[in-house]
Every structure is written in structure tokens, then in C-alpha cells.
Amino acid sequence: MVQQDEQYTGVDGRLLQAVVENMKLPLLQVARQAELARMSGSTDTNFSSIELTADTALRLLDNYLLSTRLASRRGSLEFEPVSVSAVLTDIAHQLSKLADQQQCELQVNISGRYEPVIAHRAGLEAALMSLGYVFIEARSAQPVTSGKRIIRLGAHRGRSGIVAGIFTDSDSISNDMYKRAHSLYGHTRQSLPGLVAGSGAGVFVADSLLETMSTRLRVAHHQKFSGLAATLNPSKQLSLV
């Protein structure tokens, strides 16, 4: 069963998608030009920076478009058993360069061994990636704690499923802040002013993606770190031996 989500299929939604699709090309040109300069032997470190920033922006746009595609197909998405630890490890690998550039330390912490969760794999990866971008940006602007700025990709078993998300070693986000952000985004330049300087779009992209899997982001805690996470349903058919 397919439901048409009005915000993506209305005239404004489609216009936004078309504009976003168009914006990918110039970002791609910038990223690849910077990469070519690096490959050609340029020692200017700015090229690495530009390449990384442009690639990050490109991924965010792509993740937004994925969220719109998945939303328009809700009810007929291909769910499969997904290993949360494998996804978090893969995301950490993909975020590592950005974290280094932003002088943050990236960690993966899975409390225990879990059965796979039922999810749309690409959607889950895109959601955690988008969330990761925001938290790295946010944490890098905050003071160090005990000499570090730590971003932790973590998972633990919650009351109603596996809780997976991104956490930091600073008290960055509260329930009130997050709730207010949802009413502010789209209406103000800074939806999460206590967390990040920019719009924090990655949080809302992540939330949209997770919503297609019938879950949402919420403020959560993982071993004294706080952040945003989603609860995912474990697969009843498969268990890790």
C-alpha cells in the first residue's frame, strides 16, 4: 500500500526536490575539482577541506532526497534485518575524516550483542549519517572536556527495542530544546541554537528518514553521554548466535 505524503507531493515539495536535485551538480563539481587538485599534488590543505565540506553537503542533499522518496513509498518499503553494530561501524568510518577535520574524536560503543533490527538499510544509514554531521559540527564548536571532544555512535537495549543513535560528552541537547526545534524548523534560521550554529537540517532529515520506518528521534542517554537516538524493532526471526 502506498501513501502519498502531501508535503513531498504538493507543488512546493516537488519544487524543493527539483531545486535540491539541481544543487547537487555544482557541489559535485566543487568536490571533484578539489579532489583533482589534491591528486595533482597540490599541497594547499584547503583543497582537502573543500573536498570534505562539499562531499558532506552533497550527502546531506542526497539523504534529504532519499527521505522524500521513502516517504512517498511508505507502506511498500523493502525492510530487512540490519545489524546495528555493522551500520554504526560503517557510519563511523565514513564520518571519520570529517570528525578529524573538526577536531572531534569518534567512538563506536555497542553495549552487548543484539539481534538484527528490521529496517530500511539505506534509510537507516542515511539517517545516522545526517545526524552525525550535525553532532560533529555542533561538538566542534563547543569547549573540550578533559582534553577531548567525543562523538559516540552507540547502541543499547531499551525497553521497547534497540536504541541506536549519536551521543556526545557535552550536555548538548534537552527534551525541551528538541521539542522546540520541531516547532521552529522551517520558520527560523536556527532551530537548535543551543546545539548548532546552522539550521541543524541533518537532524530533521534523519528524523524524516526514521519516520518512514515508524520510529522517530528522541533525546536519549548512552553511558552518561547525551544525544539523539531512535528505537528500532529487533528481528524476531534472526538471532545472533
Which chain residues interact with other proteins by CB under 8 A?
1-4, 21, 24-25, 28-29, 32-33, 35-36, 39-40, 55, 58-59, 61-62, 69, 76
Question: Closer CB to other proteins, residue 78 or residue 175?
Answer: 78
Question: Closer CB to other proteins, residue 59 or residue 222?
Answer: 59
- Yes or no: say if 227 and 211 are a contact pair by the CB < 8 Å rule: no
Grid-cell match 553495549, residue found: 111
In angstroms, give the least distance from the CB of 49 to other proteins: 15
Q: Residue 78, Cβ neighbours under 10 Å: how many? A: 9
In angstroms, give the least distance from the CB of 48 to other proteins: 12
Amino acid identity for residue 216 in this structure: R
Q: Output 214-220 pairs: Cβ under 8 A, ≥24 positions apart.
A: 217/131, 217/165, 217/178, 218/175, 218/178, 219/173, 219/174, 219/175, 219/178, 220/163, 220/165, 220/167
In angstroms, give the least distance from the CB of 137 to other proteins: 20
Question: Closer CB to other proteins, residue 14 or residue 113?
Answer: 14
In angstroms, give the least distance from the CB of 6 to other proteins: 14
Question: Closer CB to other proteins, residue 4 or residue 49?
Answer: 4
- Residues in CB range of 195: below 8 A, 6 or more apart: 134, 138, 172, 173, 177
In angstroms, give the least distance from the CB of 76 to other proteins: 5
Question: Closer CB to other proteins, residue 191 or residue 212?
Answer: 212
- In angstroms, the Cα distances linking 31 to 48, 143, 210, 222 are 9, 30, 28, 35
